[in-house]
Amino acid sequence: MKEAKEGVMSVLTYIDSPFKLLVVVLLGMLGSISYFAYQNQGLFLSVYMKSQELPKLNDTQFDDAAQLIFRQTGAEIVTIFSVNPMLNRRILLRAFQKDGSREKRLEGMDVGLFTTNQANNSDVVKLMSSEVPCGDYTRPQSEAGLWYIQQGVSYTCRVSVPPDIHQFIGQITAGWKEKPDVHYATDILTIAANKLIKDRK
C-alpha cells in the first residue's frame, strides 16, 4: 500500500506542466486500450474467423443477375448492395435501369442498414431471416429511394445475398411500376442472389 502511494505521489510530482499531463493521460488511455484488447483477444479472433467464413460477392455476375431479373419479371430497376450488419453499412454497388444503363452517381453510396424508418428496419430483420420482403414503395428512405420513385417504381421486393439465414453480406432490390406476380418474382430474385456468391474453390 505504501509503495502504491509513493508511486502515485511520484507521478503527481512529475506532472508540472500541461504537456506532461497530456502525456500521462495518453499513456493511461493507451494502456487501457491495450489491456482491453489483450483481455478480449479471443473475441476479436472469433469475429475475424467468422468474417473469413462468410461468402464473398461475385461482382462479375452483377450484370447477369440484373438482366435475369429484368427479363423474367419486367422490373424497372435493380440495385445491388454490399452489406455489413456489424458496422450498420449498406453500400450501393450497382443501380441498373431496365435498358441496361446504370445510375453511376448513386454507386458507392452508403444508405445505412438500420435507420429511423421502422418499415425499413422490419424488412432488414426479415432479410436476415432469409425472407424476401415485398410491398408498396411510397416513401423514399435515401437518395436511392428518390431515384426509384423517379423511375416510376411503386412496388419493391428485396432479397438477401446469399438467400440463407445468418449470411447476410449483400442485398438485391427490384422495383416495378405495378405489383408483379410476387411468388414468381421472389423465386427469380432468389436465383439471382445465388448467382452473386463467389465460388470458394
In this predicted model, what pLDDT tens digit does every residue of 93-152 receive, in sequence order? Answer: 999 999 989 999 999 999 999 888 888 889 999 998 889 999 999 989 899 999 999 999
Question: CA dihedral defined by 86, 145, 127, 183, rounded to 10 degrees?
Answer: -170
- Please give the grid coordinates belonging to residue 139: 416513401
Cell 445505412 sits on residue: 112
**Domain 55-195: CATH architecture, name and number where available:** 2-Layer Sandwich (3.30)
**pLDDT above 80 (res 68):** yes
Who has greater pLDDT, 17 or 162?
162
pLDDT in tens, 49-60: 555 567 899 999
Residues of the chain with CATH 3.30.450.40: 55-195
**Residue 80 confidence (pLDDT):** 98
How far apart are the C-alpha atoms of 23 and 45, rounded to whole Å?
A: 31
**Residue 20 confidence (pLDDT):** 72
How far apart are the C-alpha atoms of 130 and 125, rounded to whole Å?
A: 9
The mean pLDDT of the chain is 86
Give the CA distances from residue 148 to residues 3, 24, 47, 139, in Å, rounded to whole numbers and listed in that order. 69, 54, 35, 10
**Residue 47 confidence (pLDDT):** 46
- Helix 18-39 vs helix 41-53: angle between axes, to the nearest 10 degrees? 60
Instruction: Give first-to-last CA distance, the chain, whole Å.
Output: 61
**pLDDT above 70 (res 4):** no
